[in-house]
Amino acid sequence: MAKVLTVPTAALLLLLACCFAGVHCDDTPEVRRSLIAFLRELAGGDDQVARDLGWGVLVPPCGGGGVAGWKNVSCRPANDGRVRAVTLESNGARLNGTINATLLCAETAIRTLSLHGNALRGGIPADIWACKALTHLYVSGNQLSGSLPPSLAQLSQLQVLDVSGNDFSGEIPGDLSKLPGLVRFFANDNRLNGTIPDFNLDQLKSFTVSNNNLTGPVPKNAEKFGNQSFWPNAAGICGAPLFESCPPPPSKSPQQTGPLSPPPPSSGSGSGSGSGAEADDGHGNGKHKKRAVPKIVMYLGYVLLGVVILAFVLYKICSNKKKRSNKLGLKSKPSRGKGVYGSSRLTTTTTTTTSVTTPNKSAAYSIPTSAEHSVAATGAASAVAPPSTSLVVLRRSGTASPITSRAAAAAAKDLRFEDLLKSPAELLGRGRFGSSYKVVVPGGAALAVKRVKDAAVDEAAFRRRMERIGRAKHAAVLPPLAFYCAMQEKLVVYEFQSNGSLEKLLHGSIESSQGPLDWAARLHIAAKVADGMAFMHTTLSGSDGATSNNSPSSGDDAAATDGPIAHGNLKASNVLFTAGMDPCVSEYGVTSPAGGDAAALRGDVHAFGVLLLELLTGKATSARGDGAELARWVTSVIREEWTAEVFDRALLAGGGGDGSSEQRMVRLLQVAMRCVDASPGSPPPPTMREVAGMVNAIREEDDRSFSLEA
């Protein structure tokens, strides 16, 4: 009778078969079980996640021998069957468990762990130090709490650490600043306190600790990253030139010890009255005076220090009063100093039938609003606006979205229209559809305000559209925090993104140390933007029931706005980067036509194709053009069979120069050309959902072939 193989025997034979098939045996079933258990704990005990991703003990993680490997892992650059990277990003509430470093570090070859954009709880475990090969750790955008473990500093190979957008508290471990290879550190949007360790900022390429409760001096050369990397924080943060100079440490008087110290007064009785020091009318009296001199100097020092502190406090009080006195309608003079507050304010002016102009250059960036918020001649206060034209705050709960930081969500919770008008404003740029401003509201949160130029847009339709967009949340679409809608004025408020736009990053004008984007980064941006656009095109199709209860919901106009909503102005300058350098689409629906116009949706597809061409060629489109010139140039090059000449040289030189990568570049170029091709007789352009599917298929193939690390 044939002997029945037991499960361990079968597993061993399968493992041997894998070895003969070309899969290395360094990957053991024990390691696989640990990684599967690690994923199970991330998922809060749900085994379905592992099954959906194909993680199984009998399946080699890296594949081989005709067997598909695990999803969301990478085994490159080595080809020994061991997992180098685990990337479980943007799964939302599906990954709501905890991080178990003991299970993860059973695979000692792990170099990259990315858990960005989930709902993980707990903290970073102290035994993370066991992952000795770890070089990239991303846990941003979760619900992690507690303190950062000092054992992070034992990861001697660590290059990138991103803990932003969580609820961490306590101090930043001081030894993190001593890691020799650390080049990127993101700890913004937490509740960290204490002082900032003395990082060598000359070594770092990216650094931000903003939106915490940190105090004390900033590291040397902090101006390399600018004010936005350190502010807002606690009031005591200091260090020129970004903040007030730190006060000198209080001087200490030298202690009198040793043979020069005066002898204690005599306790015995003498012929005179009083103590021995008082009775000494010779050398003893001189010693008494000598001892009193240092004490007097010390007390005077304390008095002077107190006077300095008092003067500083009075100066700040007077300065704040002066700022508060600059009410609505008063034009502020440009600031001579440096800082985040800029040199102008969003102010209101009385609107009449004729244009109101002013020669005052200091108010060049003021935003005139409708007559419903007109200012009295004295400029002392604004008129009370009717409820129908007040600021509509979309995030009154104060909770942060996958993109919005806690600071911005908290600022939006109590945001008032008057806050925008009184706050200093800095012009960010002007475009066909209006101007953008950076505004720092009371409390220190930085917001971006888009002033919509097209005043002919129907007020009720605009209101419904903004409310619907505010409810449709996606990690790649920047949500509006609030909006203001009147007959001749429309403002939309977002959180300010300090890492700039794709336009600046692509074309070399961004004020940071970011190097040229490589192929993997550009493909990641393309996939994220495509996902966000496809989500918005389909979610806002009318099935979400997103009709405002506070707006008219009957009639043809209301029904028309229940259709899909196009972006209307997708371009590289409207693709912004979050604190974690993830792309997100800004100004969604601000300028799109009402009623789900099919032509506008096709226009989004065309604009996305132009965006792909910019990513692949590195060439900018004209400021007011639609990308037609770039598309014609690409078409002419392809027609001459010089396809390789299309691609940006920095793209090819950045690690994407092998044959397989170039093939995927060509495939992405074909997707772009399908989006922009409007020639007679050409097939209809794909939908954004179809485009997103094609781009993600290219990205998944790229992920299977290459490491996610640069």
Domain extent listing, the chain = 17-238, 324-496, 501-710
CB contact set of 158 (below 8 Å; sequence gap of 6+): 134, 135, 136, 137, 152, 179, 181, 182
Instruction: Say how far apart CA 340 and CA 322 lie, in whole Å.
Output: 18
Residue 643 DSSP label: G
**Using H for helix, E for strand and C for coil, what is the string for 156-187?**
CCCCEEECCCCEEEECCCHHHHHCCCCCEEEC
Q: What is the pLDDT of residues 446-485, one digit of tens each?
A: 899 998 876 556 778 888 888 888 888 898 999 999 888 8
Which of 362-366, 624-628, 657-661 is predicted most confidently? 624-628
Greater model confidence, 303 or 604: 604
The amino acid that residue 648 corresponds to is D
On the question of a cis peptide bond just before residue 125, with omega within 30 degrees of 0, the verdict is no
Q: What's the burial of 171, exposed, middle or buried (CB within 10 Å: 0-12/13-18/19+)?
A: middle
Greater model confidence, 95 or 427: 95
Average per-residue pLDDT for the chain:
75
Q: What is the pLDDT of residues 288-333, one digit of tens each?
A: 444 556 667 777 888 888 888 888 888 877 766 555 444 333 333 3
Greater model confidence, 651 or 370: 651
Least confident of 139-153, 255-269, 528-542: 255-269
The CATH code of the domain at 324-496 is: 3.30.200.20
Q: What is the pLDDT of residues 542-555, one digit of tens each?
A: 544 333 333 333 33
Predicted confidence at residue 291, as pLDDT, reads 52
* Mean pLDDT of the region 164-175: 94
Q: What is the pLDDT of residues 254-267, one digit of tens each?
A: 444 443 344 444 44
- Kindly tell me if the per-residue pLDDT of 650 is higher than 60: yes
Between the CA of residue 88 and those of 104, 224, 240, what are the distances in Å?
13, 32, 41
Predicted confidence at residue 706, as pLDDT, reads 61
The continuous run of DSSP H or E covering 471 comes out as helix 459-471
Least confident of 177-186, 517-526, 547-556: 547-556
CATH class of 17-238: alpha beta
134: left (phi over 0), alpha (psi -120 to 50) or beta: beta
Domain 501-710: give its CATH architecture.
Answer: Orthogonal Bundle (1.10)
Q: Residues of the chain with pLDDT > 70: what percent?
A: 70
- Kindly tell me if the per-residue pLDDT of 576 is higher than 90: yes
Greater model confidence, 365 or 495: 495
190 contacts 212 by C-beta, under 8 angstroms: yes
Residue 658 DSSP label: S
The distance in angstroms from the start CA to the end CA of the chain is 57
Greater model confidence, 414 or 97: 97
Predicted confidence at residue 440, as pLDDT, reads 87
Residue 397 is encoded by which pair of tokens? 């709960």
